[in-house]
Amino acid sequence: MIDLWDGVVQALRLVAGLDATLTDIALRSLQVTLSALGIACLIAFPLAALLAVRRFRWRRTVIAVLNALMGLPPVVVGLVVYVLLSRSGPFGVLGLLFTPTAMIIAQVIIIVPLIASIAHQSLRDLWHDYHDLLISMNVTQGQKLRTLMWDARRALLTAALAGFGRGIGEVGAIMIVGGNIDNATRVMTTAIALETGRGDFALALALGFILIVMTVAINLAVHTLGRTEREGRW
């Protein structure tokens, strides 16, 4: 229990002192996960909408696979991305390994299935309501997708936040492809793993608390800006 208290005290001290290293790795955490989230949303939302609207032969299989991939083990994703980006791998010439870009790539792979699955769930329900109307108006496929995505924007926001949550707390993949290099690819979660390894539980916990507070703050900010959970609003 002493450790937990030490962790809280140290967290407050780090935040109060605006520790330069802490600010640096916290910002890098946000940079990596938010970039990954942006790219993942660009892929996952249209994919989810397409799966809701289009009827094709392997649709059920694709949806089932997508749902299953929500549980992708990050360490396996990390290993696969490592092998692909390694100098001896197919994309080695790009020299991307151990850069934030590599971490973003790994996180995109991890969170796309999650975002797409959650988004698909809401879009499918909405499509059920809109189906007759949109068909009778004889709109194009693109218009259908856009209408669905716009009207389900709050549900899509929830899907994005779930993706953000999985990305910001992830350590297995980014440890392998990022390498936890000081001042280059060290982020909150890999720093926590490092301090745990050193047996400095107080500092590890302090970083952990700061990460949790950061995540909560971002979720609150998004909800406030998005005006969700307000009376009389959907």
Partner 1 sequence: MIRLLLAVLVVWSSAASAETLRMAVTTSFHNSGLADVLLPEIADDLGLEVQLLVVGTGQALRLGEAGDVDAILVHSRGAEEAFVAAGYGTHRREIMYNDFVLIGPQDDPAAIAESETATEALTRIAEAQAIFVSRGDDSGTHLKELALWADAGRDPAGFGRWYNAVGAGMGAALNTASGLNAYILSDRASWLSFGNRGDLALLFAGDPVLFNQYAYLPVNPERHPHVAADLARALEDWLVSDRARDLIDGYRMEGEQLFVFNAQSEGDT
The residues that touch partner 1, with contacts defined as CB under 8 A, are 86-89, 92, 94-101, 179-184, 194, 196-202
Residue number, 75 or 218, with CB nearest to partner 1: 75
Q: By C-beta, is 139 or 194 nearer to partner 1?
A: 194
The Cα 106–Cα 33 span in angstroms is: 10
What is the smallest separation between the CB atom of 174 and partner 1, expressed in angstroms? 13
Instruction: Identify whether the C-beta of residue 109 lies closer than 8 Å to the C-beta of residue 81.
Output: yes
3-state secondary structure of 194: helix
Burial of 103 (0-12, 13-18, 19+ CB in 10 A): buried
Minimum CB–partner distance for residue 163 and partner 1 (Å): 20
Lookup: tokens for 190: 């890999």
Q: What sign has the CA pseudo-torsion 159, 162, 164, 167?
A: negative
Q: Which is nearer to partner 1, 158 or 180 (CB)?
A: 180
CB of 171 to partner 1, least distance (A): 13
**Distance between CA atoms of residues 124 and 133, nearest Å:** 15
166 vs 186, beta carbon nearer partner 1: 186
Of residues 159 and 203, the one with the C-beta less far from partner 1: 203
Give the span between the Cα atoms of 173 and 61, in whole angstroms.
27
Using DSSP's 3-state secondary structure scheme, residue 114 falls into: helix
Which residue, among 226, 74, 215, has the nearest Cα to 158 in the 3D structure? 226
Q: How far is the CB of 26 from partner 1 (least distance, A)?
A: 19
Minimum gap (Å) between residue 25 Cβ and partner 1: 15
Please say whether the beta carbons of 158 and 115 come within 8 A: no
Minimum CB separation of residue 83 from partner 1 in Å reads 9
Specify the residue, 122 or 185, whose C-beta has the smaller distance to partner 1: 185
